[in-house]
Structure 1
Amino acid sequence: QLEAQKPFELSQAPLLRASVLRLSEQRHILLVTVHHIVSDGWSSGILTREVGALYAAFAQGLPSPLAPLELQYADYAAWQRGWLRDEALSKQVSWWRGQLAGAPHALELPTDRPRPPVQTANGGTLPIELGSQLTAELRALCLREGVTPFMALLSAFQVLLARYSGQDDIVVGSPIANRQRSEIEGIVGFFVNTLALRARLTGEMTFRELLAQVKETTLGAYTHQDVPFEKLVDELKPERDLSRSPLFQVMFALQNTGRSAGPQDGEEKSPLEPMQVDSGTAKFDLSLLCGDFGDDIGGLL
């Protein structure tokens, strides 16, 4: 049986909670719940890495090995507020306005039951694995066409969505780290932004032509990634529907983080091991969340 210590708050506001489950004298599970308003996927990697470094040091009675931060998230927020306004904001929003003009209100995927009038967060996950051979063929295609694996997989996903929905105008959301300066790469905070990536397909279009279109769209979106998604929704004022998320209902992500490598020569094995948790929830109608692990690509649907 698990012996749970009383959960404790690490801040006055309930933005972070932690609990320890004791499995044995030498094995415990640390449950950390962090509000998305103060963290993102990149931050989770920072938190895991720094907790591991602190644990190893403190276990030996050593001081913290972490260097003090030169900047805090508040510094980034102040910079963003001072820069992203007036002409700079207008220029970015104008690009998105042109990019998403006339985009469909919804992606009508076939379902086995009626859509509820108010969207719920109920969901589940299925594993996805491309395998080493298909991944190698994908990389060869990317090399020939001058695109990234993200662009190629997004293109294929949009073709699949077009076939299932019968629509030729597809908008897919994708998260971007939005850490364009090296000074903020080590800061925990909510930097991530969401991009709405649109593809328009025709019956005569080849996949090579679609790749070129997706490449152009993606690079343009990266150049104009600074507009927060909620600000973009506020500016574009799309048709709102309680049963759907605005601008897009399908998400695609490809993280280039790599699998956790084992200890190198002379290194000790880390005392920390991540655990996969199925929350039983889903943020969108459909999310394809992949990781690029070098020899293969896989993830969750």
Structure 2
Amino acid sequence: ARRLGVSLASLCHLAWAQVVARSSGREQVVFGTVLFGRMHGGTGADRAMGLFMNTLPVRLDVDGSGVEESVRRTHARLAELLTHEHAPLALAQRCSGVAAPAPLFSALLNYRHNPLAALQGAVGDDVPDGIEWLGAQERTNYPLSLSVEDSGQALGLTAEAVEPVSAERICGYMQCALEHLADLLERSPHTPVRKLEILPAAERRYLLEELNRTEVAYPSERCIHELFEAQVRRAP
């Protein structure tokens, strides 16, 4: 990301686009992205309390374009989206031509900066006296969501999915897509982005080998007509 002059979030958005594309069988995908909301908050926004966050749709094409070109294009799309970070999602719905109540998207990506202590579940020493930390639990209205936790030193993945989709499998797909994307950017940046791999080795082996393991023990020393005759005697 540093070499290409793009944000790490751009790489994550492109990897997530491939996960959504492979899962849905489409090359043009739309998913929601969570915006910080304070980049164009106006004068005094840095002193205003409360959440400025917003969720807007982003469309990416996972096609024959090279991975490096796709990364740059993704970065440009996200930069353009920032100029609309305060636009209501309802306005985006009206402008889209997608008739309500059909949603604009059903998958969500939330790229957020969290210190390492927060990722490890620590509360820290700055909790005011008399307050006890009991815990927290996040929920979303979207059937599929992925949070990328950027601690500044590492990335963490947290997924929420409606059954029977496995959140663990979704995280595995995203990790595989990110690793393959980084590898292609270093070794073969002109490889079509649609070739980004999302299947971890264990799941690929299960799909190609375990499910196709159709060998059956049978009396191979006998001819086929003898086996046929034996079957006729058993079930005439």
Global fold match (TM > 0.5): yes
1:300 aligns with 2:161: no
Amino acid at match of 2:85: Q
Amino acid at match of 2:98: P
2:2 aligns to what?
A: 143
TM-score by length of structure 1 reads 0.45
C-alpha RMSD of the superposition:
2.6
In structure 1, what is the Cα distance between the partners aligned to 2:151 and 2:132?
Answer: 18
1:206 aligns to what?
A: 66
2:46 aligns to what?
A: 185
Number of residues of Structure 1 aligned to a counterpart in Structure 2: 150
Inter-CA distance 223–269: structure 2 relative to 1 (3 Å threshold): closer
Q: How many Å apart are 1:231 and its aligned residue?
A: 2.3
In structure 2, what is the Cα distance between the partners aligned to 1:198 and 1:182?
Answer: 30
After superposing on structure 2, the runs of 4+ consecutive aligned residues of structure 1 that deviate more than 4 Å are 271-275
Inter-CA distance 198–235: structure 2 relative to 1 (3 Å threshold): closer
1:221 aligns to what?
A: 81
Residues 134-187 of structure 1: per-residue CA shift (max 9 Å, x gap) = xxxxxxxx1122111111011111111111211001111111121234612332
Q: How many Å apart are 1:247 and its aligned residue?
A: 1.3
Amino acid at match of 2:62: L
Amino acid at match of 1:223: T
TM-score by length of structure 2 reads 0.56
- Matched residue of 1:231: which SS? helix
Amino acid at match of 1:282: T
Residues 241-296 of structure 1: per-residue CA shift (max 9 Å, x gap) = 4xx5x2111110111232348xxxxxx653456554336x4311211112211111
In structure 2, what is the Cα distance between the partners aligned to 1:185 and 1:257?
Answer: 19
Residue 270 (structure 1) aligned to one of 124, 127, 130: 127
2:114 aligns to what?
A: 257
Q: How many Å apart are 1:190 and its aligned residue?
A: 4.6
In structure 2, what is the Cα distance between the partners aligned to 1:260 and 1:186?
Answer: 25
1:159 aligns with 2:24: no
Inter-CA distance 207–269: structure 2 relative to 1 (3 Å threshold): same
- Matched residue of 2:116: which SS? coil
1:47-58 superposed matches below 5 A = none
2:27 aligns to what?
A: 168
